[in-house]
Structure 1
Amino acid sequence: MTKSVACYFWIPICLTFFQCSKGKSEDALALVFLGSPAITSVEPKIGTPRQNNENGVYPPTQIVIKGSNFGVDTVIRFNQLPAAISANLGTELYTSVPDGATSGFLTISKSGGSCLPGTASGINCAGTEFFIDCYSVTGNLYGSEIEIKQGESQSIEFKGLQTKAFRSSLILGNAKLTVTCDSNVTVRLFSTSCLATDYISKKDPSIPLNANANNQFYVTAFDDTCTVSI
């Protein structure tokens, strides 16, 4: 009689435990496929696409994205440009800056989701700002960047054959870079995705800059004091 009573009470307890465990597993599985992704960190948040120019060959910056609920069919975009995923560990995504990437938003979307262009929001979407920097990858090869503000001029001294790195953010539409020296100079201007265009041995060059964007460029001169104007 005692054994029958014990069994009577044990069976419902076992069933209840099994049903609770099953329910939690199903909830977790549903979250993986249905919930929105979340980003807790992106390292680094500044990088470069692949560069191949006379100053050197630089590989694309490797990026680690940490967070949760990334799903199994994740899409990473840099300003709407898709990037290949080298590894998806569930809470970590590994990728690299794709060719043609520009500063803007790095976004993650899951299967059936989408991110609104130029934003970090959408359906099953998460995102954060990411910045393209064409110079930092060189390890400050030519010293610290010199900032020239729009509408500003600076006198820059060059000793021997010397190259200096510059940066200028255009916030008021179009502008030109003008370099005035006694001698010829060479200018290397980077596009917003780090493609380099060289203006070799020019006298007082006047070069159109990338509108409404951060511009990075090098100036090479020989024993001269030049005026750099934006």
Structure 2
Amino acid sequence: MRRILYTIGFSLVLGSSFSCISSSSEDPLAALLTSPPVISSVTPQIGTPAQNNLNAFYSATEVVIKGENFGVDTVVRFNDIVAAITLNLGTELYTKVPDGAYSGFITVSKSGGSCLPNSKTGVNCAGMEYFIDCYAVTGKQYGPEIELKQGSSLSVEFDGQETKAFHTDTLLASRNLTIGCESTVTVRVFDRSCKATDYVLQNDPIIPFPAGVATQFYITADSKTCSLVL
């Protein structure tokens, strides 16, 4: 009787051991396949696509995404723009801000997953806010940006032939920037993806700005005081 009980007890313990081993070996794989990716950090969180604007060229910002569960068939997007992955270490992804990127979200999705358009959520998807700044990449060579709010005006003094950097707030509707100055001015206006349009040696230009974005721009003028109305 003792031998029978011992045999039964040993079988139960042995079976339990096999069950634990099997469960522990399967759980990590199941988690890897079914769990969504997780983003813990994006460095830097402000950058620019490549800029090649007449007399200035700046490379696309390199971005490192850290987290877990990235998988192997990984897709990185800046909103709806797919970015090339230069290196995937499983917990770190290396990429660059692609042409056409604009402020919104950077997302990571894995095989079988997808992110909702211009969102940081979806199936097997993770995201974080990302900001496009066309001016920061220059080291802010023209000093701090001056903010011009919609429906307001500024009086700005230029010393010699000087360039100043500006940005609007996010415009609720399309508006015109009207510049009044005693000298001719040159204005460089960036779109949301940092492509520049230049208005060279203009007299009192009126420049259209789009709705829904904060527009960055430069003004170069001689030793004059200029008025800006938006």
The answer, yes or no, to whether TM exceeds 0.5 is yes
Equivalents in 2 of 1:43, 1:106: separation in Å?
Answer: 11
Aligned to 2:161: 161
- TM-score, normalised to structure 2, is 0.91
Q: Is residue 124 of structure 2 the alignment partner of residue 124 of structure 1?
A: yes
The structural deviation recorded for 1:118 is 2.2
Equivalents in 2 of 1:164, 1:208: separation in Å?
Answer: 19
Q: Is residue 211 of structure 2 the alignment partner of residue 216 of structure 1?
A: no
Equivalents in 1 of 2:21, 2:156: separation in Å?
Answer: 71
CA contact (8 A) 2:148 2:167 kept: yes
SS in 2 for 1:28: helix
SS in 1 for 2:160: strand
CA contact (8 A) 1:45 1:130 kept: yes
Equivalents in 2 of 1:99, 1:7: separation in Å?
Answer: 70
The structural deviation recorded for 1:10 is 8.2
Aligned to 1:3: none
Aligned to 1:69: 69
CA contact (8 A) 1:46 1:130 kept: yes
CA contact (8 A) 2:79 2:102 kept: yes
Aligned to 1:228: 228
Deviations 1:94-129 (A, max 9, x none): 111000001111111111111111221111111111
> Residue type of the partner of 1:217?
F
- Note the 1:2-151 alignment, pairs <5 A: 17=17, 19-151=19-151
SS in 1 for 2:156: strand
Equivalents in 2 of 1:150, 1:57: separation in Å?
Answer: 30
Equivalents in 1 of 2:75, 2:53: separation in Å?
Answer: 30
Percent identity, please.
55
Equivalents in 2 of 1:11, 1:94: separation in Å?
Answer: 51
SS in 2 for 1:117: coil
CA contact (8 A) 2:161 2:220 kept: yes
Name stretches of at least 5 consecutive residues in structure 1 with no aligned partner: 1-5
Residues 85 and 18 (structure 1 numbering): CA distance in 2 closer, same or farther, change over 3 Å?
farther
10-19 or 207-216, which moves further after superposition? 10-19
CA contact (8 A) 1:160 1:223 kept: yes
The structural deviation recorded for 1:172 is 1.5
Equivalents in 1 of 2:208, 2:224: separation in Å?
Answer: 23
- TM-score, normalised to structure 1, is 0.91
Equivalents in 2 of 1:83, 1:25: separation in Å?
Answer: 34
Equivalents in 1 of 2:210, 2:60: separation in Å?
Answer: 22
SS in 2 for 1:141: coil
SS in 2 for 1:123: strand
Deviations 1:51-70 (A, max 9, x none): 11244211111111111111
Deviations 1:58-95 (A, max 9, x none): 11111111111111111111011100111111111111
Equivalents in 2 of 1:68, 1:31: separation in Å?
Answer: 11
CA contact (8 A) 2:63 2:94 kept: yes
The count of residues paired between Structure 1 and Structure 2 equals 226
CA contact (8 A) 1:169 1:212 kept: no
